[in-house]
Structure 1
């Protein structure tokens, strides 16, 4: 690629990275400081903290991958370094999606109004088992990442910069089926937590519809906190679903891009779009969480006062 294009894309990537780091670091710091202060942490704050940390890792891996591709492309011709990057990309990717699914389930169990025995049992148990659920997500993500990255994409990384060579082109074609099957399997695994989030969103809509209908029948004109909680949770979940779809498509473009003529450009554009998901969703979570929103307003107020003193 031309140097100007490289520099422009890297500036955009760096801006998205800084934006994502700001939002996710803010979530993690606020919750951790509150944890230290009160010596306990709420279940939703624990999920948000783990989600923010996993996305910080994902942002770092995506930035590192873009940086290596643009400035140190020779690294793509060796397998050991790229296996490490592929492992952590796979790990943080799965952790981020699974923790977001846990957040969707938590919102559903805490806010929805159903009287089914199974729902009531899960609602009562969720706070007690949330730590084990998060640990289970971590263990499963590591379990998936290790075997997949063992055989992942030495050929893909080699083809990114050397596919014009005859021997490497033949090598890529010979392993196309194996590479494609691994990637399809890897991406299909993230569809399960995505489906769980989609189901939680659908059930929240059903719960909101039933609750609204009940309010209309009772003809109460007072402010309804339950409806506000439903709408807040639904905004957080639907934003995750939409951003994840865009991220998933970009991830497919980036990882299957050696089928395309302009491989390097396709990888960077794919990762540039993929960065939108972990970067922007953190700010949606801040706005939808009362504690984080109040903390952000206090921080902005203090920053405004500091700037006034200086100028």
Structure 2
């Protein structure tokens, strides 16, 4: 019976590893593509908008999250018994920080997009547009710093819990906390709620602005106005809102699942990685610059494959002639 159980565990581990790698490989390609296009534009002195800055930072954070999850769930368990408690806690700190960064950057993306596109004319809105849009790089840095602080608070709570007499089980799946440690769940929930709140507010504002604008244009006597661009933007905002909501729900579910069952839901974390890959792919599709560069890359790959096939065909014909 023990051998059968061990075999099932190994099979599940291998299956999870295969799923993670299937998500990791296209994810790294997509995220690296986004980073490369925007960094190349910046390097060549071309115009790089605040939205480009946020999208590039999102690509970097998501690529780091995928790599960290692979190390955390599949490489780290092999060496867990030989690692000190401090190293184990730092590994958890890094993984949590990366997830927080992704959430804050996604919210910042919504804020910058709303301030750039919306046509509100209130003093507060115009002030925020002038202040935030021109300080996007600083806000990206602030998002990273705030995420590190949030993770550090959880780490300090865990260390305090252990120092005050709590037991630490080194065989647990989650090295950050003692099993069902409520001191960890509360700061995580609060840290996740703030970026979600900002994202919802600015996404609703952007959608409302676009909706009212299209309504006025439809009522206008000028029938030659093309509304496809606005409808496309509204669709983009809606799909991105759905993605972000699902991502936050899945992440909170991961925390609550561990809190209830004392087991890390590895499959849910793989789902989170898959969601980031889907969203980055959608960003490429909806961003004209990225879509154009991707078309060129795909065209070059197609030309290379067909050229290679034609070359092999000619070589086979020559061999037959000989």
TM-score interval for Structure 1 and Structure 2 normalised by the shorter chain = 0.7 to 0.9
CA contact (8 A) 2:100 2:192 kept: yes
Gaps of 5+ in 2: 1-7, 310-322
CA contact (8 A) 2:214 2:230 kept: yes
Provide the rounded CA distance (Å) in 1 between the counterparts of 2:232 and 2:24.
Answer: 31
CA contact (8 A) 2:37 2:290 kept: yes
Provide the rounded CA distance (Å) in 2 between the counterparts of 1:209 and 1:110.
Answer: 16
Structure 2 counterpart of 1:295, from 293, 296, 299: 293
What do the CA deviations read for 1:83-107 (whole angstroms, capped 9, x no partner)?
A: 1211111211111111111110111
Task: Give 1:130 shift.
Answer: 1.4
Find the structure with the greater CA-based Rg.
2
> Is 1:82 equivalent to 2:88 in the alignment?
yes
CA contact (8 A) 2:185 2:256 kept: no
Instruction: Tell me the TM-score normalised to structure 2 length.
Output: 0.81
**Over aligned residue pairs, what C-alpha RMSD do you find?**
2.7
Equivalent residue for 1:203?
A: 205
Structure 2 counterpart of 1:128, from 104, 125, 134: 134
What is the total number of aligned residue pairs between the two structures?
Answer: 293
Structure 1 residues 70, 159: CA separation in 2 closer, same or farther (over 3 Å shift)? closer
Equivalent residue for 2:194?
A: 192
Equivalent residue for 1:215?
A: 217
Higher RCO (CA-CA < 8 Å; seq separation 6+): 1
Task: Give 1:240 shift.
Answer: 3.5
Provide the rounded CA distance (Å) in 1 between the counterparts of 2:169 and 2:54.
Answer: 34
Stretches (4+) displaced over 4 A? 69-73, 153-157
Q: 3-state SS of the aligned residue for 1:41? A: coil
Structure 1 residues 161, 12: CA separation in 2 closer, same or farther (over 3 Å shift)? closer
Equivalent residue for 1:167?
A: none
Structure 2 counterpart of 1:96, from 83, 102, 109: 102
Provide the rounded CA distance (Å) in 1 between the counterparts of 2:189 and 2:296.
Answer: 40
Equivalent residue for 2:3?
A: none
Task: Give 1:125 shift.
Answer: 3.3
> Is 1:231 equivalent to 2:234 in the alignment?
yes
Equivalent residue for 1:165?
A: none
Structure 1 residues 156, 290: CA separation in 2 closer, same or farther (over 3 Å shift)? farther
Task: Give 1:73 shift.
Answer: 5.3
What are the equivalent positions in structure 2 for 1:2-151 lying under 5 Å apart? 2-38=9-45, 41-68=48-75, 71-72=78-79, 74=81, 78-151=84-157
What do the CA deviations read for 1:15-34 (whole angstroms, capped 9, x no partner)?
A: 11112211111111110011
CA contact (8 A) 1:48 1:103 kept: yes
Gaps of 5+ in 1: 163-170
